[in-house]
Amino acid sequence: MRIGITCYPTYGGSGVVATELGIELARLGHEVHFISYSQPFRLNGRDEGIFYHEVPVSNYPLFEFPPYDLALASRMAEVAEYYSLDLLHVHYAIPHSVSALLARQMLAAGGRRLPFVTTLHGTDITLVGLDRSYLPITRYSIEQSDGVTSISNYLKEKTIRDFGVTRPIETITNFVNCDVYRPFADDAQRAEARRRFARPEEAILMHLSNFRPVKRVVDAVKIFARVARERPAQLVLIGDGPERSAAEWLAHDLGMQCRVHFLGKQERVNELLPLADLLLMPSELESFGLAALEAMACKVPAIATRVGGVPELIDDGKTGDGENGLLFKVGDVDAMAEGALGLLGDPARFSAMRDAARKAAQKRFCASLVVPQYVRFYEQVLTQ
Ligand code: GMT
């Protein structure tokens, strides 16, 4: 198939999922065309079968708000025509599904069919999409999509409930390439690599996000501070965004800046995650929690919040077949610190949880299981 993919190319879960999907589809022999305002950050431009098309946006002085969605629709139609795309797959409904809808109409006028699939990721439904100025058009473009997928059952149900959407929505969960995201092959290698951040007796706690308020990065620093009071530990934070300086100031005020490492945006998080003992994901809301899945694949369990779609990924032993992480109430930093300390102080339980985390990633969320679901979904849409 020839597939066009549109996503937000900067740091953020939906862009990561879209890019990894494109890479996996190309590995399966499909031709993938990314259409966006800049090259998605996990693409290196060297992958066979992957093409990138920039969307130029004119900055004419009359435009106080340059109309990116129109430029995107034009580029989608152009690329689809020139490269004979079979379908478009847009990630994050706003404004991508509206642009795809326009591109489909433009091509239909010339007698050409261009179906499009919309994947809902999170704040396009739970936050931005609910804004009255976007709700009617978001609902319309979801209804008009040729296929709609959601990254968790939670998000699917929320879309049906809050948007009154009546068309079918298929849950296809996020995924991880378990060969790329994996633990170190041997303990000696891991111990050597961890020396970059910690002494052998110190635990490494990690946080990975786009540092938006919804991620509650400051809570991650608070949890760490409580842990570090009881046992030797270091905190490594990967990513950047609006809450970074608040987190930096807190680490400074707590006198912890030597033990809190802000790495900023990193391209190869798969090389950093396996260094950690635990991932901290104290988010206000997560429709899925991709960072936790990537960590779990590296045998790093998450201390997370019981919100949104997270319980579909992390099983704290209360609901399913094995404890592979711990879930807490949003903001309960004391309980999260207690949970982390309890685990770090109980090697047998901790080791079982690390194994269970990797096993859950392999058994339910591996790219080799999930990507074929997308391929089947595309085929279904094309034969509709
Ligand atoms: O709101 C965000 O954090 C951004 C958003 C995105 O589009 O990057 O993240 C959402 O999509 C991710 C990938 O599917 C999910 O893993 C995140 O849980 C989800 N974020 C929220 O629901 C807050």
The C-alpha atoms of residue 340 and residue 226 are separated, in whole angstroms, by 10
Residues 113 and 231 in one domain: no
Confirm whether 181 is domain-assigned: no
* Contact criterion met (CB below 8 Å) for 251 and 260: yes
Confirm whether 339 is domain-assigned: yes
Residues 42 and 165 in one domain: yes
- Ligand 1: which of 214, 287, 296, 365 to mutate, judged by most atoms within 8 Å of the beta carbon? 287
Confirm whether 251 is domain-assigned: yes
Residues 158 and 246 in one domain: no
User: How many whole angstroms from 114 Cα to the centroid of ligand 1?
Assistant: 27
Q: Rounding to the nearest 10 degrees, give the CA dihedral for residues 178, 156, 291, 88.
A: 70
CA distances from 199 to 158, 309, 315, 371 (A): 45, 35, 31, 39
Residues 165 and 212 in one domain: no
Atom of ligand 1 nearest to the CA of 124: 7
- Ligand 1: which of 5, 10, 14 to mutate, judged by most atoms within 8 Å of the beta carbon? 14
Q: What is the pTM of this model?
A: 0.94
Confidence of residue 126 (pLDDT cuts 50, 70, 90): confident
Tokens of 273: 């995650």
User: How many whole angstroms from 125 Cα to the centroid of ligand 1?
Assistant: 10
Residues 107 and 231 in one domain: no
Task: Supply the CATH number for residue 306's domain.
Answer: 3.40.50.2000
> Given this model, what pLDDT does residue 11 score?
67
Confirm whether 180 is domain-assigned: no
Atom of ligand 1 nearest to the CA of 214: 23
Residues 155 and 72 in one domain: yes
Confirm whether 267 is domain-assigned: yes
**Who contacts 61 (Cβ-Cβ below 8 Å, separation ≥6)?**
none
Residues 199 and 52 in one domain: no
Measured by CA distance, the residue closest to atom 23 of ligand 1 is 286
**Who contacts 287 (Cβ-Cβ below 8 Å, separation ≥6)?**
120, 121, 122, 125, 126, 151, 152, 154, 155, 158, 308, 309
Atom of ligand 1 nearest to the CA of 126: 22
Question: What φ, ψ does residue 233 adopt, rounded to 5°?
Answer: -160, 160
**Structural domain that includes position 342:** 187-364
The number of distinct structural domains making up the chain is: 2
User: How many whole angstroms from 285 Cα to the centroid of ligand 1?
Assistant: 9
Confirm whether 182 is domain-assigned: no
Residues 247 and 127 in one domain: no
Residues 336 and 371 in one domain: no
Question: In terms of Cα–Cα distance, which of 120, 283, 172 is closest to 217?
Answer: 283
User: How many whole angstroms from 92 Cα to the centroid of ligand 1?
Assistant: 9
Residues 106 and 207 in one domain: no
Confirm whether 378 is domain-assigned: yes
Beta-strand ranges (E) seen in the chain are 2-6, 31-36, 50-54, 87-91, 116-120, 147-150, 170-171, 203-208, 233-238, 260-264, 278-281, 302-305, 326-328
Q: pLDDT tens digits, residue range 39-53?
A: 887 787 778 899 999
Whether the per-residue pLDDT at 321 is higher than 70: the answer is no
Residues 305 and 252 in one domain: yes
Q: How many CB atoms lie within 10 A of CB 112?
A: 14
- Ligand 1: which of 286, 296, 305 to mutate, judged by most atoms within 8 Å of the beta carbon? 286
Provide the residue type at 328 as one letter.
F
Confirm whether 170 is domain-assigned: yes
Whether the per-residue pLDDT at 7 is higher than 90: the answer is yes
Atom of ligand 1 nearest to the CA of 284: 23
User: How many whole angstroms from 123 Cα to the centroid of ligand 1?
Assistant: 6
> Given this model, what pLDDT does residue 319 score?
61
Q: pLDDT tens digits, residue range 223-262?
A: 999 999 999 999 999 999 999 999 999 999 999 999 999 9
Residues 198 and 261 in one domain: yes
The C-alpha atoms of residue 280 and residue 284 are separated, in whole angstroms, by 13
User: How many whole angstroms from 110 Cα to the centroid of ligand 1?
Assistant: 36
Question: What φ, ψ does residue 318 adopt, rounded to 5°?
Answer: -90, -25
Atom of ligand 1 nearest to the CA of 152: 14
Whether the per-residue pLDDT at 315 is higher than 80: the answer is yes
**Who contacts 23 (Cβ-Cβ below 8 Å, separation ≥6)?**
32, 42, 43, 47, 50
Atom of ligand 1 nearest to the CA of 309: 18
- 49-63, 131-145, 310-324 — which is least confidently predicted? 310-324
> Given this model, what pLDDT does residue 330 score?
98
Whether the per-residue pLDDT at 157 is higher than 70: the answer is yes
